[in-house]
């Protein structure tokens, strides 16, 4: 039976040819109206048609620098030839054949064991960061036989039920309650609070990020993780370190925990493991933990299945991604470029009150805007209390994108912080360009206030109407 006009399906070629307006309308009707409306109002509904390295181009050939970096999944930049090349090499082998042992998954796990700190050796693979966190939490329960988890306020571990239960933001948690029971929040960096929680709760695991990314790029106090390691060991609680955003060179070493001089019991990975092209996540743990948790006999193996986890295509891309990150020494590049970038941004901070703080490590950098008496208040014409500042911050992102061609976004748990996490292959010229763009934006911020106020009024009234 042929399809009628009303049933016509769009092809890949049709999607490739869509213009900005068509993307907006289709997205609005078939995915999410609010997201589409907000993007259009802020002017970031740009139709990107090409990407390479740190650069992306829109349908009119305009060039942009990507400082969002796929939230940390683009350490190698867009469409890195080594990753695309690996995908081409395996295009004729079966991508998914669950009855066979995945040789690419095995090779990837072998390589991860070689580069991971300490005695971390056995991997489990899945497709996303949140799923990797689920796997790590389950590993902790089955290993310890305990139920509770300790996590950090403002921390971010993903939005599936288990990961959300240990994500420290009420806005994301409350509509979905009841979440999994026995999850106890403690402030990040607060060792007495952690020790109290460990003493009172018989916890299976403490899950934490080495640097809180979505909280607004929050660094731990000096020596924090050494004590975390000691405390977790003394309470027989697993120490799960979520390096989904910080991993694979982002903070100046392959894994951020190397700079803290600690080895967790479970290291959770995703994002840049896929080389910016494929979705792959997982965890790596010690063989002793894996053995006790899932045994070396056959009866528990089916507990670890995941249809797409470690499939040949994703694992091959990940092998190439890891190899490139290691051989090109991108971690050291991130350390050097990050120090240079941070220094330049700190100089800007001296010039503009609107910049409250600049912080970060390697190329995981946050620029925090001052809320009171600053841009946000002015922009909102006093409506800050009424309006979620997420949308106001997005307007500044829109200005950076449309006026200066630099893509930035705000961190999920702190919308006053602009995340700056370009691919680690970013050039010094590109870093300079980003700093100069901020300089220009803030130096003409009086007139920018007016422009943004005008465009902002539309956004504000639309949001208030909803």
Ligand X SMILES: Cc1ncc(COP(=O)(O)O)c(C=O)c1O
Residue 77 binds ligand X (CB under 6 A): no
Q: Which positions from 218 through 247 interact with ligand X, judged by CB under 6 A?
A: 242, 244-245
What x-and-dash track marks residues 140-179 binding ligand X by CB under 6 A? ----------------xxx---------------------
Residue 126 binds ligand X (CB under 6 A): no
Residue 248 binds ligand X (CB under 6 A): no
Lookup result for tokens 């740009």 = 46
Residue 129 binds ligand X (CB under 6 A): yes
Residues in the interface with ligand X (CB under 6 A) total 15
Residue placing its CB nearer to ligand X in the complex, 45 or 209: 209
Residue placing its CB nearer to ligand X in the complex, 265 or 399: 265
**Alpha helices for 126-262 (secondary structure H):** 129-144, 161-165, 170-173, 191-201, 224-234, 257-260
From candidates 56, 112, 270, 376, binder to ligand X by CB under 6 A: 270
Residue placing its CB nearer to ligand X in the complex, 376 or 407: 407
What does DSSP assign to residue 359? E
Helix and strand tally (H, E) in the chain? 19, 15
Q: Phi and psi for 240 in degrees, rounded to 5?
A: -100, 120
Residue placing its CB nearer to ligand X in the complex, 127 or 312: 127
Over the range 358-390, which residues count as b (16 or more CB within 10 Å of their CB) and which as e?
Answer: bbbbbbbbbbbbbeeebbbbbbbeebbeebebe
Residue 421 binds ligand X (CB under 6 A): no
Residue 209 binds ligand X (CB under 6 A): yes
Q: Are 371 and 252 in contact (CB under 8 A)?
A: no
Query: Cβ 273 to ligand X, closest distance in Å?
Result: 10
Residue 71 binds ligand X (CB under 6 A): yes
- Give the nearest residue (CB) to ligand X: 129
Rounded (to 5) percent helix, strand, coil in the chain: 50, 15, 35
Residue placing its CB nearer to ligand X in the complex, 375 or 409: 409
Query: Cβ 128 to ligand X, closest distance in Å?
Result: 4
Query: Cβ 92 to ligand X, closest distance in Å?
Result: 29
Q: Which two tokens stand for residue 454?
A: 């005008």
Q: What is the 3-state secondary structure (H, E, C) of 226-278?
A: HHHHHHHHHCCCEEEEECCCCCCCCCCCCCCHHHHCCCCCEEEECHHHHCCCC
Rounded CA separation 294/110 (Å): 19
**Which of the ranges 124-132, 192-200, 226-234, 318-326 carries the binding residues for ligand X, by CB under 6 A?**
124-132
Residue placing its CB nearer to ligand X in the complex, 355 or 412: 412
Residue placing its CB nearer to ligand X in the complex, 46 or 245: 245
SS3 label, residue 95: coil
Query: Cβ 32 to ligand X, closest distance in Å?
Result: 16
**CB atoms closer than 10 angstroms to residue 22:** 14
Distances (CA, A) of 251 to 72, 135, 167, 431: 10, 24, 22, 16
Residue placing its CB nearer to ligand X in the complex, 229 or 271: 271
Q: Contact residues for ligand X (CB under 6 A)?
A: 71, 128-130, 133, 156-158, 209, 213-214, 242, 244-245, 270
């Amino acid at each position: 039976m042929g399809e009628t006009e009303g049933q016509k399906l769009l092809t890949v070629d049709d999607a490739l040819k869509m213009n900005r307006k068509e993307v907006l309308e289709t997205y609005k009707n078939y995915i999410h109206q609010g997201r589409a409306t907000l993007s259009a109002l802020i002017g970031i509904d740009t139709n990107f048609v090409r990407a390479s390295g740190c650069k992306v181009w829109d349908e009119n050939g305009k060039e942009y620098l990507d400082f969002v970096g796929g939230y940390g999944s683009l350490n190698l930049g867009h469409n890195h030839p080594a990753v695309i090349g690996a995908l081409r090499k395996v295009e004729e082998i079966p991508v998914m054949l669950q009855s066979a042992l995945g040789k690419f998954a095995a090779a990837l796990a072998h390589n991860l064991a070689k580069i991971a700190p300490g005695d971390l050796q056995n991997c489990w693979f899945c497709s996303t960061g949140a799923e990797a966190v689920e796997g790590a939490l389950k590993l902790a329960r089955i290993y310890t036989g305990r139920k509770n988890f300790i996590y950090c306020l403002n921390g971010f571990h993903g939005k599936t039920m288990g990961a959300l239960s240990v994500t420290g933001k009420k806005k994301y948690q409350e509509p979905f309650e009841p979440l999994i029971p026995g999850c106890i929040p403690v402030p990040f960096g607060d060792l007495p609070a952690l020790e109290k929680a460990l003493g009172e709760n018989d916890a299976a695991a403490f899950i934490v990020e080495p640097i809180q990314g979505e909280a607004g790029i929050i660094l731990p106090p000096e020596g924090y993780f050494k004590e975390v390691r000691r405390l977790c060991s003394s309470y027989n609680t697993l120490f799960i370190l979520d390096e989904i955003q910080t991993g694979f060179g982002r903070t100046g070493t392959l894994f951020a925990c190397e700079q803290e001089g600690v080895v967790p019991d479970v290291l959770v990975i995703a994002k840049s493991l896929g080389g910016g092209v494929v979705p792959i996540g997982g965890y790596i743990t010690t063989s002793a933990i894996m053995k006790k948790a899932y045994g070396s006999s056959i009866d528990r193996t089916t507990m670890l299945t995941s249809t797409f986890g470690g499939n040949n295509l994703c694992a091959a891309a990940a092998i190439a991604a890891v190899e490139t990150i290691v051989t090109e020494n991108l971690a050291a590049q991130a350390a050097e470029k990050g120090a240079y970038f941070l220094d330049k941004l700190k100089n800007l901070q001296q010039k503009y009150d609107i910049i409250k703080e600049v912080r970060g490590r390697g190329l995981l950098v946050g620029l925090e805007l001052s809320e009171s008496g600053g841009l946000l208040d002015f922009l909102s014409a006093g409506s800050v209390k009424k309006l979620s500042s997420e949308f106001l911050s997005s307007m500044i992102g829109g200005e950076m994108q449309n006026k200066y061609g630099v893509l930035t976004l705000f961190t999920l748990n702190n919308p006053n912080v602009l995340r700056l996490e370009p691919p680690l292959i970013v050039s010094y010229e590109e870093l300079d360009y980003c700093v100069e763009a901020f300089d220009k934006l803030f130096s003409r911020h009086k007139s920018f206030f007016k422009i943004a106020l005008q465009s902002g009024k539309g956004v504000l009234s639309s949001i208030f109407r909803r």
